[in-house]
Structure 1
């Protein structure tokens, strides 16, 4: 850690790391990860910890109608707010850094900023709110980035509350079950949003750079795919008579992967990330498979071209395997561009801290992408070891965590004094996409 650069006393950095590693024990797995899917008991326990951290410092806590939790540090009664945060839910057997780091860093940044304000070292014109967004991961309830998207008006609250998980439980029922379906509207006057997150890639680590200033997000779209065959006996049915939906799903899965090889290296990424098989019996040819395919690229035309090609190839599979394959567009998200002024603010802060920084894109979605549609937003990355994420061996070193905390604290301090006043959002691309 760069001792001269950090705005924290050593004890403050140690307190942050102690809290971070304590929260990582909630829902901990046996291989160093966490499992805290949205609105489970483990998710509740982290939310309870978040709320206690805030209330013990005199901050008010409220929960809105989609389960987002807001902790307000009031500096100027009645003034708009700067939001800072991320999410505490995780993927199944996921990593302990994804999302939770941004929430813990925001809490400790807010505590340090409060100390500075009370000491007369900072005179904010806005209030500060730390937020834990509901169901960013989208593993239990689809789609992802749920709480921040409802808050930002990108998704309808009533429709989202009716979404069911694989066991038939609705979002409303799950949130009521853990005591986190609130009635508050949440903050209505915003002056900006800031989020720090692990990169979930290896660019920063490979280049030896401490921070990444996110300037844009990739175009994303999913396909909801249903493959219908006919249930029959695995031993008694002749091979020629089988209409095996799982065989069709296997071919579809490989098609989704292989489409990437038809484009320049790393221009397109794709996967099948979820699969449901019915009836899923060891002696039955499967009659139905449900898949979710994910396509992402910086250039929307690449995604659209890949999608159209896949639909045509799915038709061929359906004919050859005597199946019905229905693929529907799902969760399409355009490129988003962060305000240039926010990127430049991060660069100034990094320079003042003596930390290296580079501009970077995010291929993954984040809550900041949704928030950037309603308020000027800043997104900052810290390095991920080996670029591994959504995995138990996900790792970011303590030194990098503290560097990101230091930078976030400075960025939010600047935003509280008006650094992004009047900045338009979302930002505009510096050059045409694909140029």
Structure 2
């Protein structure tokens, strides 16, 4: 297939795929295991089968399109995720899954025609619940495959309505019987979700490191009382304490070097959540990220000081639990170089970049050689219906992922020391 034909075909398929879970604002909503997610996965399964892939699902409902090219050899995995945040954009995750499918189909064609000698087999993967909006934790499917999260823990996770992951993934009736194959390498392409590439006029980001991060579950304990009659001096308002925490987290970004700390507070839950009752308990997630580990360390220390002061000021007790933490984690340099060489061969502008967000590749890089690529996000908008990437950048990314996948299948990063899931 000529490159322009592949581009037109990709854009047509992307438009079709974006109709599943479409929202009035031009985005999508298909949270993991929802009806819209199942519909998208069913459409994608049909696409893979028509392209000659065997579609299978593992025990946590990671969706694979398998193509055996070299019997007994390990697999190159390429993919991302189809699930979304609520009222999300069309590109986050889904672009990478469809790009992977088109890249893999083209690589398979080259193998059939004899222009590419394979050393590995090939699989497209749609990871289950990367977003972590309906079920936590995020990056669930790749965490299970890499052994970072027990399968039983993942299957027992519940949404706010009490539905478990096990119940959600059983609904479409897919056979969840695949034992994931040995993995020689992994590749993923994603929108940047920031403005760096767009502002620098660069088409491709070669991801070489992650930002460091600390994530907390914060529980503010107060005392339930009447919103009208309780004397102000007697109140132990958990929501007031939580509000001070939210402000403190944002103000940390002003106290540290500009642009060096991102802070967020999300998923607020309170009890009793009554209009005439002072809150006795509030739970929030608090997220700190930085491209400098020393800055993150200072932010964590400042946060501890602020929480102690808020406890005294609001007359509350604050419980802080670290749920996730990582430093600056590097992708394999040889994978970055492979991608750089492929981008140069295609004449695409490219530059090393860091990822602020987590991706399934951040799990996979710990067990197998991994290539992570970015394409620009218009105005850096993401997790929003206004999320956009130009057609030109989208198809350039597909072309590059195709070349990267071809090189991986040819064994350019080696295929001997494969990772065996569960092994």
Question: TM range, normalised to the smaller chain?
Answer: over 0.9
Q: CA deviation at 1:417?
A: 0.7
- Distance change in 2, residues 1:111/1:65 (3 Å): same
Alpha-carbon spacing, 1:25–1:154, altered in 2? closer, same or farther (3 Å)? same
Equivalent residue in structure 1 for 2:41, among 36, 47, 71: 47
Look up the SS of the partner of 1:143 in the other structure.
Answer: coil
- For 2:145 and 2:201, how far apart are their aligned partners in 1? 36
Q: Deviation at 1:176?
A: 1.9
Task: Verify the 8 A CA contact 1:376 1:424 in the aligned structure 2.
Answer: no
Contact 2:183/2:418, CA 8 A, preserved across alignment = no
The aligned counterpart of 1:307 is: 300
Tell me the CA shift for residue 180 of structure 1.
Answer: 5.1
The answer to which of 246-255 and 283-292 deviates more is 283-292
* Distance in 2 (alpha carbons) for counterparts of 1:252 and 1:310: 9
User: Shift of the alpha carbon at 1:423?
Assistant: 10
Secondary structure, in 3 states, of the residue corresponding to 1:336? coil
> Structure 1: which 4+ aligned runs deviate by more than 3 Å?
178-181, 422-426
Q: 2:152 maps to which residue?
A: 158
Partner of 1:85: 79
Mapping of residues 393-412 of structure 1, within 5 Å? 393-412=386-405
Task: Check conservation: 2:63, 2:126, Cα contact below 8 A.
Answer: yes
2:383 corresponds in structure 1 to 390
Over residues 215-245 of structure 1, what are the superposed CA-to-partner deviations in whole Å (9 max), with x where a residue is unaligned?
1111112110111112222222222222211
Aligned to 2:131: 137
SS in 2 for 1:140: coil
Matched, 1:316 2:309: yes
Residue 192 (structure 2) aligned to one of 196, 199, 206 = 199
Deviation at 1:79, TM superposition (A): 1.1
Comparing 245-254 with 224-233, greater Cα deviation is found at 224-233
When the two structures are superposed, what TM-score results if normalisation uses the length of structure 1?
0.93
Give the 3 Å change call, closer, same or farther, for CA 163–185 of structure 1 in structure 2. Answer: same
Per the alignment, residue 430 of structure 1 pairs with none
Give the distance between the partners of 1:127 and 1:244, measured in 2 at CA. 59
Task: Give the match's secondary structure for 1:337.
Answer: coil
CA distance in 1, matches of 2:209, 2:64: 26
Pairwise mapping of residues 6-45 of structure 1 onto structure 2 (< 5 A)? 8-45=2-39
Contact persistence 2:119–2:415 (CA under 8 A): no
Please tell me whether the aligned partners of residues 26 and 45 of structure 1 are also in contact (alpha carbons under 8 angstroms).
Answer: yes
Tell me the equivalent position of 1:4.
Answer: none
The equivalent position to 2:232 in structure 1, one of 231, 236, 239, is 239
Give the one of 111, 114, 124 matched to 1:117: 111
Q: Distance in 1 between matches of 2:217 and 2:130?
A: 19
Within-5 A mapping of 1:243-254? 243-254=236-247
Deviation, structure 1 residue 422:
6.9
In structure 1, what is the equivalent of residue 355 of structure 2?
A: 362
User: Structure 1: where are the runs of 5+ without partners?
Assistant: 1-6, 427-435
TM-fit CA distance, 1:298: 2.1
Q: Paired residue for 2:367, among 359, 370, 374?
A: 374
Q: Which residue number in structure 2 is paired with residue 62 of structure 1? A: 56
In 1, distance between residues paired with 2:59 and 2:301? 38
Q: Given the two structures, how large is their TM-score scaled by the length of structure 2? A: 0.95
> 1:62·1:186 contact (CA, 8 Å) conserved in 2?
no
RMSD between aligned residues: 1.8
Residues 339, 425 of structure 1: 8 Å contact kept: no
d(CA) in 2 for partners of 1:215, 1:423:
23
- Worse overlay, 364-373 or 230-239: 230-239
CA drift at 1:338: 1.0
Secondary structure at the aligned position of 2:219 is classed as strand
